[in-house]
């Protein structure tokens, strides 16, 4: 059952060489989005992978994280909080900056988005180095939530991003 779902999902992830830069093998999830049976199976797998964490809030990272975070939050009965690139959120917010390979980037979250102490899962489509997810967890802490784990649809294990997120549990549906 689970294996057949994994096969269904895996068949809809497209590997695109040299995007967005030479040497990067990009894992493209758009075929999955276009295949309702596979997308549903993927969200079911994702839900089961994180269910034991008993999360109250799902924090989804712009922008592909939204595509997984929203159905996952509904399936778990959790609240959904978007973490966005600077300048997009209208209300009072806080910001965290984080290092990229070259330079820095930043994420923002509404100040009142998370209930005090809420058990929170940070969600994105792909974990590469883990820097983006780690920054999102920092925002959760600053806002008074409790990060209890990370969920990714795809883990690029050779980049060892998981180590950056320790000791919190890291769950992934597919691993390359």
Residues that bind ligand AMP (CB under 6 A): 24-27, 64, 124-132, 156, 161
146-155 and 170-175 beta bridge pairing: parallel
CB closer to ligand AMP, 11 vs 16: 16
CA–CA separation, 56 and 117 (whole Å): 10
CA–CA separation, 170 and 163 (whole Å): 9
CA–CA separation, 34 and 155 (whole Å): 21
Q: Give me the catalytic one of 64, 94, 95, 119.
A: 64
- Contact, 111 vs 93, CB < 8 A? yes
> Minimum CB separation from ligand AMP for residue 92, in Å?
25
CB closer to ligand AMP, 125 vs 138: 125
Task: Please give the structure tokens belonging to residue 65.
Answer: 């994280």
CB closer to ligand AMP, 109 vs 156: 156
> Minimum CB separation from ligand AMP for residue 20, in Å?
9
- Does residue 64 carry a catalytic annotation? yes
* Rg of the chain taking only CA atoms, in angstroms: 16
> Minimum CB separation from ligand AMP for residue 161, in Å?
5
For the annotated catalytic residues, the residue numbers are: 64, 101
């Amino acid at each position: 059952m689970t294996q057949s779902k994994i096969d269904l999902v895996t068949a809809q992830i497209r590997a695109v060489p040299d995007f967005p830069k030479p040497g990067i093998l990009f894992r493209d999830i758009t075929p999955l989005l276009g295949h309702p049976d596979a997308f549903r199976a993927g969200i079911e797998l994702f839900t089961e992978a994180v269910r034991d964490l008993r999360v109250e809030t799902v924090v989804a990272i712009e922008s592909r994280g939204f595509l997984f975070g929203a159905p996952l939050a509904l399936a778990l009965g959790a609240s959904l909080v978007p973490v966005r690139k600077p300048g997009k959120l209208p209300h009072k917010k806080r910001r965290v900056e984080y290092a990229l390979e070259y330079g820095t980037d930043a994420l923002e979250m509404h100040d009142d988005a998370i209930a005090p102490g809420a058990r929170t899962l940070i969600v994105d489509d792909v974990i590469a180095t883990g820097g983006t997810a780690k920054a999102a967890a920092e925002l959760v802490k600053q806002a008074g939530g409790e990060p209890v784990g990370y969920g990714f649809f795809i883990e690029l294990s050779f980049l060892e991003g998981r180590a950056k997120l320790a000791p919190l549990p890291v769950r992934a549906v597919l691993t390359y």
